[in-house]
Structure 1
Amino acid sequence: MFRVNHIHLKSPDPKKTAQWYVDVFGAKITGEGTGMGGATTVRMEIEGTRINVTSAPAGETLPQGTSESHYGLEHFGFDTDDIEAAM
């Protein structure tokens, strides 16, 4: 049997992105640190699913995201019994 180990997102501002997940989904921040190349990573968990949000390495920038189709992550989904109450 397989299960999701973690989801890894890239963001120019990992702390701000992680805070959005805290505010909207009730995520719990479980750690924060600086990794290879000086990239900042914020680790969090939502109902047992781990999510990491990492910046670009120091001195580099991430390309601007667009809504156009391209190779890479398209989406991941969350379930809720009451979307209105969850938001």
Structure 2
Amino acid sequence: MALSFAEFKAALQADEAALAARQTVTGILACVACEEPLQESVTGSRHTHKGYMCSDCYFEELGRELDAHPIMTPRAVR
């Protein structure tokens, strides 16, 4: 069943209010770490084994993993 223009406008305003309050609306994914609604141009959207993350949480977790397991090159034998 199609929405009337008034119903569509009310739903759009409710979605905008929910995004402004950092709540997830229908059809928008949330970050698995901080539960912020993901918008590619604003927060970024990185796919991980846990689910989708915002760029801030993704790089924070990546930094923790690199600190815990540093990348080292073996020393050359002389």
Q: Is TM more than 0.5 here? A: no
- TM-score (normalised: structure 2): 0.22
Structure 1 or 2: more helix by fraction: 2
Name the structure, 1 or 2, with higher relative contact order (CA <8 Å, separation 6+): 1
TM-score, normalised via structure 1 length? 0.21
Q: Which has the larger radius of gyration?
A: 2
Decide which structure has greater strand share.
Answer: 1
